[in-house]
């Protein structure tokens, strides 16, 4: 049986297994790149996705997004035990058309420009904020924002929640009461302060990357989308990547790329696939008996994610749950006393009583989240086996750097100050979390340990640069392997000071242009 006999959303049967480009992973980046490349009718693209072609019913309804994290549309991984908490942490990531954009919390925000300009200082020339701005604008339709800064005719419709929770509106007023500036466009990348964040909701329903880019392109005869296809290895010979091996329903198949293979499987999946293909640290691959294709020590290193905790309040009056509304409706970007480069603390104003699952709390409430949004902690992605069916070892090493603990400690203070401000008095019931005095540093650490949530914003494992630990060069070509690129969140040298999805759209738009040459 040929993989071309499998049903796909294109409802086409391809008679060949050779393509100009093979794109691995139909998440945000893969959806963008496959769509842009096939705008040229002479270019044939195969897009492979491990998830299903059929969206889950809950994907459309923004308010139910947490239910998707443990669903069939997620890989449902877990981290290794984290030293800071002494526990493993769930590590969901998208396994569907649209990838994580189909199951995430729907926040669309650029990081502050300082976090992108930091990339350039690390050797990622051409990847500063001004470099990426045309690609941010190309991806988005943000008609409620300043057209000089934001795109107005891109595929993805974004804008603030139309009917924000009154608790979130009051929390914004509380931040202003404490002297924090109000931003005109906190999702734009040029301001700090507080404001309503943009979300990727159109006509009351989620708009994923598959909705905005991929599904409108499905009728193109030069785009072949194959779902339920798990890529197990890259085909590499004499330093050249020529294709991929993958499985469908247990059957092993191979496809050939005459031009390039582009990895868009995310910071976990892209690193895992490189390692399985013999590209990575030689000592790690030797331990697992994997034949070495290239000793590239940076593969799987530099993993970073945004840690988060919340302060939780019971609402004094019932708060309406609107199906079309997201949870995190307002954002604050704050520069703490220890930061010299720009905002390093995010405050998230949440319309629901969001908390660690192990903590009790009210059903009717709201939360104020705080995150060390440009963390210094770094971890790894490694293999536990040479068997592609075995999940990777994910170790973000959350809050392993003391500087991140300092930012989280200051974030707790800011969140509680907002929560206790007069502007929130009408909505404030009991403080459910912490719900007790935190009298000293050890009390604060105990609370940070028990309340730790994480954003699932994995990035950095195939970082762009020019030094020995860089995995891809500034054109996203894997250093030392021809005809192979990585173009997803894994190329980020350091964290962006925002939820990552908006940045992945921009990375993919720029990658498509680089690939087309």
> Annotated catalytic residue: which of 112, 224, 304, 457?
457
Please report the pLDDT score of residue 281 as a whole number: 98
Using one digit for the tens of pLDDT, what is the confidence trace for 372-407?
999 999 999 999 999 999 999 999 999 999 999 999
Q: Which CATH superfamily is domain 17-52+92-155+206-305+378-390+459-517 in?
A: FAD/NAD(P)-binding domain (3.50.50.60)
Phi and psi angles of residue 253, each rounded to the nearest 5 degrees, phi first: -140, 165
Question: If you ran DSSP here, which 8-state letter would residue 118 be given?
Answer: H
Could you give the CA distance from residue 498 to residue 330 in angstroms, rounded to a whole number? 12
Q: Tens digit of pLDDT for each residue in 314-347?
A: 999 999 999 999 999 999 999 998 888 899 999 9
- Tell me whether strands 365-372 and 201-202 are parallel, antiparallel or unpaired: unpaired
Residues forming a β-bridge with 79: 394
Q: What is the mean pLDDT of residues 415-439?
A: 97
Sorted by where each begins, the domain ranges of the chain are 17-52+92-155+206-305+378-390+459-517, 159-199+307-372+400-451
Q: Model confidence over 53-75: pLDDT tens digits? A: 999 999 999 999 999 999 999 99
Right CATH for 159-199+307-372+400-451 from 3.30.410.40, 3.40.1190.10, 3.30.470.20, 3.40.640.10: 3.30.410.40
3-state secondary structure 211-226: HHHHHHHCCCCCEEEE
pLDDT of 471: 98
Tokens of 45: 């693209």
The pTM of the full predicted model, rounded to 2 decimals, is 0.96
| Span 89-115, average pLDDT | 98
What's the pLDDT score for residue 338?
A: 85
Three state DSSP letters for 397-408: CCCCCHHHHHHH
Rounded Cα gap, residues 47 and 37, in angstroms: 11
Q: Which pLDDT does position 16 carry in this prediction? A: 43
For residue 224, indicate whether it is catalytic.
no
Distances in whole angstroms, Cα of residue 475 to Cα of each of 224, 323, 461, 465, 516? 25, 41, 16, 9, 11
pLDDT(472) > 50: yes
Q: What φ, ψ does residue 316 adopt, rounded to 5°?
A: -70, -25
User: What is the pLDDT confidence band of residue 7, given thresholds at 50, 70 and 90?
Assistant: very low
State which H helix or E strand residue 513 sits in: helix 501-516
Do the first three CATH levels of 17-52+92-155+206-305+378-390+459-517 and 159-199+307-372+400-451 match, i.e. the same topology? Answer: no
Predicted pLDDT at 243: 97
pLDDT above 70 (res 474): yes
């Amino acid at each position: 049986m040929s993989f071309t006999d499998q049903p796909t959303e294109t409802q086409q049967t391809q008679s060949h297994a050779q393509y100009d480009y093979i794109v691995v992973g139909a998440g945000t980046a893969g959806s963008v790149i496959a769509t842009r490349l096939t705008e040229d009718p002479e270019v044939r693209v195969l897009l492979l996705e491990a998830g299903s072609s059929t969206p889950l019913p809950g994907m459309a309804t923004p308010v139910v997004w947490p239910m998707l994290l443990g669903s069939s549309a997620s890989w449902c991984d877990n981290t290794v035990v984290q030293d800071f908490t002494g526990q493993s942490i769930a590590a969901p990531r998208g396994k569907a058309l649209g990838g994580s954009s189909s199951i995430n919390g729907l926040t669309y925000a650029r990081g502050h420009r300082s976090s992108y300009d930091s990339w350039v200082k690390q050797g990622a020339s051409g990847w500063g904020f001004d470099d990426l701005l045309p690609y941010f604008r190309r991806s988005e339709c943000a008609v409620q924002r300043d057209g000089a800064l934001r795109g107005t005719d891109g595929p993805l419709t974004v804008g603030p929640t139309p009917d924000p929770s009154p608790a979130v509106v009051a929390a914004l007023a509380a931040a202003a009461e404490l002297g924090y500036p109000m931003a005109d466009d906190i999702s734009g990348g040029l301001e700090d302060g507080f404001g309503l964040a943009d979300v990727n909701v159109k006509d009351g329903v989620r708009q994923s990357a598959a909705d905005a880019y991929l599904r409108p392109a499905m009728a193109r005869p030069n785009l072949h989308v194959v779902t339920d296809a798990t890529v197990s290895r890259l085909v590499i010979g004499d330093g050249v990547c020529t294709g991929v091996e993958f499985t469908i329903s247990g059957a092993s198949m191979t496809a050939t790329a005459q031009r390039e293979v582009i990895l868009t499987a995310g910071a976990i999946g892209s690193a895992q696939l490189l390692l399985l293909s013999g590209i990575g640290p030689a000592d790690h691959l030797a331990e697992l008996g994997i034949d070495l294709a290239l000793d590239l020590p940076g593969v799987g290193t530099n993993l970073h994610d945004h840690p988060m905790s919340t302060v939780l309040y019971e609402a004094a009056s019932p708060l309406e749950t609107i199906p079309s509304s997201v949870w995190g409706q307002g954002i604050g970007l704050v520069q703490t006393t220890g930061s010299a480069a720009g905002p390093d603390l995010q405050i998230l104003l949440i319309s629901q009583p969001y908390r660690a699952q192990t903590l009790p709390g009210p059903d009717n409430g709201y939360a104020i989240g705080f995150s060390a949004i440009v963390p210094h902690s770094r971890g790894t992605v490694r293999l536990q086996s040479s068997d592609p069916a075995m999940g990777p070892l994910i170790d973000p090493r959350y809050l392993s750097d003391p500087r991140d603990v300092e930012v989280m400690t200051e974030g707790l203070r800011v969140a509680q100050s907002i929560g206790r401000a007069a502007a929130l008095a009408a909505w404030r019931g009991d403080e459910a979390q912490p719900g007790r005095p935190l009298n000293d540093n050890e009390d604060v650490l105990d609370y940070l340990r028990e309340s730790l949530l994480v954003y699932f914003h994995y990035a950095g494992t195939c970082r762009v640069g020019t030094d020995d630990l860089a995995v891809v060069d500034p054109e996203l070509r894997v250093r030392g392997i021809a005809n192979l690129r990585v173009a997803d969140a894994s190329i980020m040298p350091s964290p962006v000071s925002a939820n990552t999805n908006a940045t992945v759209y921009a990375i993919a738009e720029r990658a498509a242009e680089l690939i087309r040459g």
